[in-house]
């Protein structure tokens, strides 16, 4: 048996630090919102001429007076992603850009993707993203509140908040882009983290009913160990699937799979070191469970 409970305090401290740092990052550095949430235009193009590179493209686009332009490589050496604010949202901007690029590069490029999100739509998408995440947290809270005693609910929800905040913190730290698929990833993380916590909690509660003489500090550790191989196997297979998406699923899914990978790692960690320690700190005992059982 591994003595997870020996490090409860250490990891609680670490998690607190992680959360505080993440919050500070989110407040002061903020998130790098993509055009879905900030508005603007994105163009993905593929070049068939080595003359076309980041700097030559940047030169071209800067001459077109499109506001703040960012040009980046996108996966291959021949693929580029161009983003700009497109403030006055003129209707034929893409046509203008094409004419302009034709002049310097001829036919040696191909526009593969265009996304254009107006300011009104981006504001709405951001709002619905925030609502979706809040709603999912609220639903999880209600679900766990129906299924378990309040001490368990508190532990699970704290673990959830930890996972969401720290994952977003990592995105802020490295300036990774937040777009619609990241919202999908965060929601899935919420589901996964909850799943992981619930499996351990289920065992804790079962053991609480079984043993009256074991303190919660020990009991959580027993439960974690009993469910440990499941925790490891499930996170391993999920991570294997996610790594396959990350490395082979193409550039578009990179951000999504990275967020999920982070979420699975944090979710697994928080089930053990946050959710359970809340039970310990709230001195949950057999009485807590039995009292609740009597009510039913």
- Residues forming contacts to another protein in the complex (CB under 8 A) are 44, 46, 91-92, 94-95, 98, 110-118, 120-121, 125, 128-129, 131-132, 135-136, 139-140, 143, 147, 180-181, 183-184, 187-188, 190-192, 194-195, 198-199, 202-203, 226-227, 229-230, 233-234, 236-245, 247-250, 252-253, 256-257, 260
The least distance separating another protein from the CB of residue 166, rounded to whole angstroms, comes to 18
Cα–Cα–Cα angle for 192, 155, 185, rounded to 5 degrees: 25
Q: Which is nearer to another protein, 25 or 105 (CB)?
A: 105
The least distance separating another protein from the CB of residue 247, rounded to whole angstroms, comes to 8
Q: Which is nearer to another protein, 31 or 204 (CB)?
A: 204
Sheet strands (E) in the chain? 32-33, 40-47, 69-74, 76-84, 109-117, 177-178
The least distance separating another protein from the CB of residue 203, rounded to whole angstroms, comes to 8
Q: Which is nearer to another protein, 7 or 79 (CB)?
A: 79
Let me know if 163 is exposed, middle or buried by CB neighbors in 10 A (0-12, 13-18, 19+): buried
The least distance separating another protein from the CB of residue 97, rounded to whole angstroms, comes to 11
The least distance separating another protein from the CB of residue 100, rounded to whole angstroms, comes to 14
Strand partners, 41: 84, 116
Q: Which is nearer to another protein, 25 or 223 (CB)?
A: 223
The least distance separating another protein from the CB of residue 202, rounded to whole angstroms, comes to 4
Q: Which is nearer to another protein, 25 or 242 (CB)?
A: 242
Q: Can you tell me which residue has the tokens 């593929």? A: 46
**DSSP code per residue over 6-64:** GGHHHHHHHHHHHHHHHHHIIIII--EE-HHHH-EEEEEEEESSTT--HHHHHHHHHTT
Torsion sign across C-alpha atoms 123, 180, 58, 63: negative
Which of 191, 198, 213, 210 lies closest to 260 in space, CA to CA?
191
The least distance separating another protein from the CB of residue 13, rounded to whole angstroms, comes to 28
Q: Which is nearer to another protein, 25 or 71 (CB)?
A: 71
Which of 127, 128, 200, 219 lies closest to 159 in space, CA to CA?
200
Report how far residue 51's alpha carbon sits from residue 23's, in angstroms, rounded to the nearest whole number.
44
Q: Which is nearer to another protein, 25 or 201 (CB)?
A: 201
Element (H or E) spanning 221, and its range?
Answer: helix 216-226
Q: Which is nearer to another protein, 16 or 76 (CB)?
A: 76
Which of 135, 143, 122, 193 lies closest to 164 in space, CA to CA?
193
Residues 6+ apart with CB under 8 A from 118: 39, 89
The least distance separating another protein from the CB of residue 24, rounded to whole angstroms, comes to 28
């Amino acid at each position: 048996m591994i003595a997870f409970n020996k490090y409860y305090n250490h990891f609680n401290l670490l998690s607190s630090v992680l959360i505080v740092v993440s919050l500070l990052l989110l407040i002061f550095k903020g998130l790098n919102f993509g055009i879905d949430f900030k508005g603007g235009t994105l163009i993905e193009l593929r070049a068939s001429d080595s003359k076309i590179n980041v700097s030559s493209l940047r030169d071209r686009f800067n001459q077109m007076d499109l506001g703040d332009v960012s040009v980046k490589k996108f996966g291959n050496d021949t693929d580029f992603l161009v983003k700009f604010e497109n403030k006055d949202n003129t209707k034929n901007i893409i046509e203008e850009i094409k004419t302009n690029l034709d002049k310097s590069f001829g036919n040696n490029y191909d526009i593969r993707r265009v996304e254009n999100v107006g300011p009104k739509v981006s504001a709405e998408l951001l709002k619905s993203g925030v609502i979706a995440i809040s709603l999912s947290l609220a639903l999880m809270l209600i679900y766990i509140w129906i299924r378990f005693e309040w001490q368990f609910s508190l532990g699970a929800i704290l673990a959830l908040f930890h996972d969401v905040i720290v994952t977003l913190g990592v995105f802020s730290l490295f300036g990774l882009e937040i777009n619609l698929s990241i919202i999908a990833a965060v929601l899935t993380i919420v589901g996964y983290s909850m799943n992981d916590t619930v499996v351990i909690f289920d065992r804790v509660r079962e053991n609480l009913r079984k043993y009256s003489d074991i303190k919660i500090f020990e009991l959580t550790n027993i439960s974690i160990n009993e469910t440990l191989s499941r925790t490891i196997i499930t996170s391993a297979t999920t991570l294997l699937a996610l790594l396959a998406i990350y490395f082979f699923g193409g550039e578009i899914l990179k951000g999504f799979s990275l967020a999920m990978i982070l979420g699975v790692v944090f979710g697994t960690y928080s089930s053990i070191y946050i959710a359970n320690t809340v039970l310990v700190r709230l001195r949950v005992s057999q009485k807590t469970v039995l009292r609740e059982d009597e009510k039913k």
